[in-house]
Structure 1
Amino acid sequence: MKHTKHTLSMLSVALLAGAAQAGTLSIESWRVDDKALWEDVLIPAFQKKHPGITVKFAPTAPTEYDSSLTARLTGGTAGDLITCRPFDKSLDLYKKGQLEKLDGKPGMQHFPASAKVAWQSDDGKDSFCMPMASVMHGFFYNKKIFADLKLAPPKTQAEFFAALDKVKAAGKTPIALGTADQWEANQIVFTGIGPNYWQGEAGRKALIAGKAKFTDPQFVAVWEQMAKWAPYLAKGYSAQTYADTQNLFASGRAAIVPAGSWDIAYYKQQGLDFGAFAPPVAKAGDKCQISDHTDIGIGINPKSKNKADASKFLEWIASAEFADLYTNKVTGFFSLSSHPIEVKDQVAKSMLDWRKSCGSTIRLNAQVLNRGEPNMETELWNVNSQVLNGKLAPKAAAQQIQAGFAKWYKPQQ
């Protein structure tokens, strides 16, 4: 009898211990700005469907996220759910066994192949993060300046430069853009306007396959266009930071700013009346191509003690409810799911509508191309800034990027 009581007592302890672990999930993320959104909107919406599951959003500062997450995963103290950066950062975690394989999990069927590629093995056979959202690149324009000058959003390069000339003649800064921080010269400008020249996914995949080179005309043409921008930028633009650029456009002193969709909320907060147009095509009749960059996903920690509930959470992330909430609450971040969404913000809606008529691609060097030395991302920051500054000729820029690429990538040798 004593033995039976002891056994029942031990079983009760074990069940209580299991209960303490079950029904609780922790989310790792770098999106510190989204903390209130998760705690006040997203998590409560999930818990309405799953009242027995407690979810904690535990973000780390973006600059510390990668190293801190790696340390926690290695030490066995990481959260149940891992917010995933696109491509190599998350692929490295998967290769180390630090992200669960998700193929066949409920919810994955709601995402097209193009959305999944940022969180798959190179051969496309293994998926390890559920896609959440993308960001888009294009141009914002000041509606008052355009109305005063009787300008329409340009659709071709010829129309683009004609508009810039009119703005300049009127005494306004045509383009708000600086090169002090460098990153926007690549991640917004080069990868924003470039797809119209290298034909989006076709050009990106041709570089990976070794069937195209940066010295080919369709890539050189992008740098040739960027080299023409200098006369339309503000005085002293080489010392202008991203924050300076935001201020220049928000204050109404510039007509156009090359921008990412993530900036919609900032300019709305400044009270600016602005619209968006897609990167103009090289010539009339060309099919437009946009950079619709896979930005954020979410996966499961293989060491989670509560994978069943983690899977339920991921299934909810794939739902139409989440797609609507995230797209409309995190303005400028667009759900990657196939669910139809009614976007309430008009600038965000106009950008999302580009998907209907334009081909979509991702940032040119996001997949595979950053894996060697010299690091292509770093090289592109530098080279694109120098082209905008008039310090590097377009053909020289192409040769520098191609030479660095060919040093380590066999298909380019």
Structure 2
Amino acid sequence: MKTQSRITILLAATMLAGFAGAANAGSLKIESWRNDDADIWKTKIIPAFNKKYPDIKIEFTSTPPKEYNATLNARLQGGTAGDLITCRPFDASLELFNKGQLISVNDVKGLDAFSDVAKSAWTTDDGKTTFCVPMASVIHGFMYNKDVFKKLGLSEPKTEDEFFAALDKIKADGSVTPLDMGTNDQWEAATMGFQNIGPNYWNGEEGRKALIAGTQKFTDPQYVAVFKTLARWAPYMGAGYKAQPYPDSQNLFSLGKAAIYPAGSWDIATFRAQANFDIGAFKPPLPKGQSTCYISDHTDIGMGINAASKNKDEAKTFLAWTTTDEFAQIFANEIPGFYPLSNAKVTLKDDLAQTFVSWRSECKSTIRNSYQILSRGTPNLENDLWNLSAQVINGTITPEDAAKKAQDGLDKWYKPAK
């Protein structure tokens, strides 16, 4: 009798375990740094997917951008990371693939919707393996408060002389902060500062590729000149800019207390939700003597599959859906300022988002010069540029010394291929 009871209990436990496993089958967790649009994923994107695939349950989790890389690495190493990994472009995600933490997505249906250029941010150096499905790029520029410009009789500056003249006029008026950015978090100083205006100095892809080839260096005049221009921003950034974190910069502009915001198009959705004034945008102003314009149209976000996921088939189903026109249309309009990298035909409803993307037909596009290859070693060039750009604006280092430190750091580990 006792033996019979034990067998019955064991069978029951086995069945319960099976039911529990079945209940978890098909559940996916997404890891992302996009905390600003978490609600859109939960209320728009995932429900649209579930209309077609109701049995695949998805949880979206976000980590603040500055903490994402370290947090994700800890979760991957600890075995607690989600099934789908939101991928930063180039080296950070390539390293995850090389460590065996991301798998190939070459067999994901719909990957042919992306050009080789679009896939390059998430493809191995030999071009054979794509490890994240591309999703979107972001474009750099400047947003501005149209009400302030109208009040002061300002027009969109096309040159740096016009840009600084506008800042002088806004500062003299004294009613709002002329240039809204802080250096507390450092990354904005490089991302919305150095990498925003820099392509006009180093001629976009020409200069970026020359750094990789070793035929140009950060100590060359065009790179020093970017730091010199950044140093000129400080008098316009408000008394507390050194202690001002990114969310405070967003709030300052949203509340109408700042005139010009060095921007990435990713901020459009935030300002649409919070600001009650008309917002315009202008391209990075041209330096003196420069006639061709360049924009940072940066391959920003992709998505891959955690090698440790127990639901890889479901993950591939979701990634295949992200290659469709349906996803591109939802993503581009629900998260304005993120521009699909697929060949989908998308109609943008937001005029500010349309302004940013219109620059593609006016200027030559490039990506941030620290992202491909040049941040693989120690010290990390991307992190160096964060710190050095912030220090230049803060006045704690000269532009010349900043350029030298950036190149010295690179020289410690990077030897261009001959």
TM-score normalised by the chain length of structure 2:
0.85
Write the deviation string for residues 256-301 of structure 1: whole angstroms up to 9, x where unpaired: 1112222223322132321111111224762221122222211233
Aligned with 1:204 (options 208, 214, 229):
208
- Equivalence for 2:6: none
C-alpha separation between the residues in 2 aligned to 1:334 and 1:47?
23
Aligned with 1:92 (options 86, 95, 99):
95
Gaps of 5+ in 2: 1-14
- 1:372 equivalent to 2:377? Answer yes
Q: Which sits farther off after the overlay, 41-50 or 303-312? A: 303-312
Structure 2 matches for 1:111-190, cutoff 5 A?
Answer: 111-172=114-175, 173-190=177-194
Structure 2 matches for 1:314-333, cutoff 5 A?
Answer: 314-333=319-338
Q: Alpha carbons of 1:67 and 1:409: their partners in 2 closer, same or farther (altered >3 Å)? A: closer
Matched residue count: 399
The answer (yes or no) to whether the contact 1:22–1:305 under 8 Å persists in 2 is no
Q: CA deviation at 1:366?
A: 1.5
C-alpha separation between the residues in 1 aligned to 2:258 and 2:268?
16
Aligned with 1:253 (options 254, 257, 264):
257
Q: Alpha carbons of 1:222 and 1:93: their partners in 2 closer, same or farther (altered >3 Å)? A: same
Cα RMSD between the aligned structures? 2.9
- Equivalence for 1:214: 218
Aligned with 1:351 (options 346, 351, 356):
356
Aligned with 2:109 (options 100, 106, 109):
106
Residue 338 of structure 1 aligns to a residue whose secondary structure is coil
For 1:404, the aligned partner's letter is G
The answer (yes or no) to whether the contact 1:107–1:318 under 8 Å persists in 2 is yes
Write the deviation string for residues 294-329 of structure 1: whole angstroms up to 9, x where unpaired: 222112334545444433322210111101111111
Q: Which sits farther off after the overlay, 298-307 or 352-361? A: 298-307
Q: Alpha carbons of 1:321 and 1:216: their partners in 2 closer, same or farther (altered >3 Å)? A: same
C-alpha separation between the residues in 1 aligned to 2:253 and 2:139?
19
C-alpha separation between the residues in 2 aligned to 1:229 and 1:77?
43
- Equivalence for 1:401: 406
Q: CA deviation at 1:168?
A: 2.7
C-alpha separation between the residues in 1 aligned to 2:239 and 2:265?
26
For 1:313, the aligned partner's letter is F
C-alpha separation between the residues in 2 aligned to 1:303 and 1:391?
45
For 1:83, the aligned partner's letter is T
Q: Alpha carbons of 1:301 and 1:246: their partners in 2 closer, same or farther (altered >3 Å)? A: closer
Q: Which sits farther off after the overlay, 343-352 or 265-274? A: 265-274
Aligned with 1:20 (options 19, 22, 30):
22
Q: Alpha carbons of 1:237 and 1:113: their partners in 2 closer, same or farther (altered >3 Å)? A: same
C-alpha separation between the residues in 2 aligned to 1:156 and 1:215?
24
C-alpha separation between the residues in 2 aligned to 1:334 and 1:204?
22
For 2:210, the aligned partner's letter is A
Q: CA deviation at 1:76?
A: 6.0
The answer (yes or no) to whether the contact 1:226–1:388 under 8 Å persists in 2 is yes
Q: CA deviation at 1:231?
A: 2.9
- Equivalence for 2:7: none
C-alpha separation between the residues in 2 aligned to 1:25 and 1:240?
40
- Equivalence for 1:363: 368
- Equivalence for 2:4: none
C-alpha separation between the residues in 2 aligned to 1:216 and 1:399?
9
C-alpha separation between the residues in 1 aligned to 2:81 and 2:359?
38
TM-score normalised by the chain length of structure 1:
0.86
- Equivalence for 1:47: 50
Residue 286 of structure 1 aligns to a residue whose secondary structure is coil
Q: CA deviation at 1:356?
A: 2.1
Q: CA deviation at 1:130?
A: 0.2
C-alpha separation between the residues in 2 aligned to 1:234 and 1:82?
38
Aligned with 2:84 (options 71, 81, 85):
81
Write the deviation string for residues 201-244 of structure 1: whole angstroms up to 9, x where unpaired: 22111111111100112211111211222332323433333344
The answer (yes or no) to whether the contact 2:31–2:81 under 8 Å persists in 1 is no
Aligned with 1:386 (options 391, 394, 399):
391
C-alpha separation between the residues in 2 aligned to 1:382 and 1:79?
31
The percent identity for this pair of structures is: 53
C-alpha separation between the residues in 2 aligned to 1:174 and 1:32?
27
Write the deviation string for residues 13-61 of structure 1: whole angstroms up to 9, x where unpaired: 9xx889938971413312455444333322232233334x413224253
- Equivalence for 1:277: 282
Gaps of 5+ in 1: 1-12
Aligned with 1:292 (options 276, 280, 297):
297
Q: CA deviation at 1:131?
A: 0.7
Q: Which sits farther off after the overlay, 325-334 or 401-410? A: 325-334
